[in-house]
Structures are given as C-alpha cells and as structure tokens.
Amino acid sequence: MTDQHIQFPHCDSGVLHAPGECEFCDRHPDWQNLRNHWGIAFTGHQPGPREMSCPSDFQRGLHGAHGWYGNQPTNTEVPVEETAASKVMYPVELRHPRDEHDQPLPTPNDGAHIHDLLTADIQARKELGTRRYGTPLQAHNGRDALLDAYQECLDLAVYLRQLLAERPD
C-alpha cells in the first residue's frame, strides 16, 4: 500500500471554487467536475434549484469561509469581512494579488511531504532526548523554556547567516 496524501486547496477542506476562480482549486479539475456531477454548488455561489449548498457555505453562510484569507479564491474578488484571526495570520502585505516579484507556486511532485519529514524528525528528537536526559521534554521540568528557546533561536540565526554567507552571488 502506498502512502498517498491528499492536499486540499484551502484551509477549509469544504472550500472548492469554480473553474477559473482560483489557481489552487484549478489544480483539482477532477474535484471540480465531481462537484458539477454531484450537483454541489461551488464555494461562494448560490446553489441552483437542483444543487446542494457548498459544504463550507452551508456551515458558515455564503462567503463565510472567505473571512479567512487562506480560503479566498486567488483569481476573483469576493465580498469579504475578514476575521480577526485572518488579519493576524495574513498581514496586509500578504493579502495582495500575485505579481512578477512573487515566487512561483509550489509544483506538486513525487518528493517526500515535508510535514511527514518534520514529524519523523520530531519523533527522532524525542527519542534522543529521552535517551540523553532520561525523560521526554515536559512542562514544569525546572528549566526556563523561554531562555532555552531564545538560545536555540540564536543558534538558528547563526546557522542561517552562515548559509547566506556561503551562497554564491
């Protein structure tokens, strides 16, 4: 059995925009075709007389999912009243149309999923810490976690600066 992961185009897995409205959703034409075939309205669209509501719109109301910037279509302006959380997570400089200075969107490929690699790294660190210190890291362990984290960040900054210095121009 292969380890296959499905990446939904938006934070809310019920969000799926109509073809041409969103570059992320357009990467899943098979899902868009199924929505049409099953008679389910696209996110932000009023259902037709023989359609069911978009699952996300049904839960949050029409355009309700768009209050979270991570659920908004990329190619279409939508009426939005953003949530406070969305404004914090996606500052104004990130809420602009893509331009020629932006990095390209990630290209799906057969490479390892970074979240899976990170999960394995975390498990390995837990095992190493347990061997080294006799216990996994726990809260209220007598150490100053803020100071530990700050010192680790300083080490990270040093390594990042080294990488920048070693890059060819």
User: What are the respective helix, strand and coil percentages of the chain, to the nearest 5?
Assistant: 45, 0, 55
Taking the alpha carbons at both ends of the chain, their separation in whole angstroms is 44
For 33-44, write each residue's pLDDT tens digit: 999 899 999 988
Q: Among candidates 23, 17, 82, which has minimal Cα distance to 44?
A: 17
For 3-23, write each residue's pLDDT tens digit: 555 667 777 788 888 999 888
For residues 33 and 66, the model is more confident at 33
For 48-65, write each residue's pLDDT tens digit: 898 888 888 888 777 777
pLDDT at 89 over 70: no
Per the CB < 8 A criterion, the answer to whether 58 and 47 are in contact is: no
Confidence bin at 92 (pLDDT 50/70/90):
low
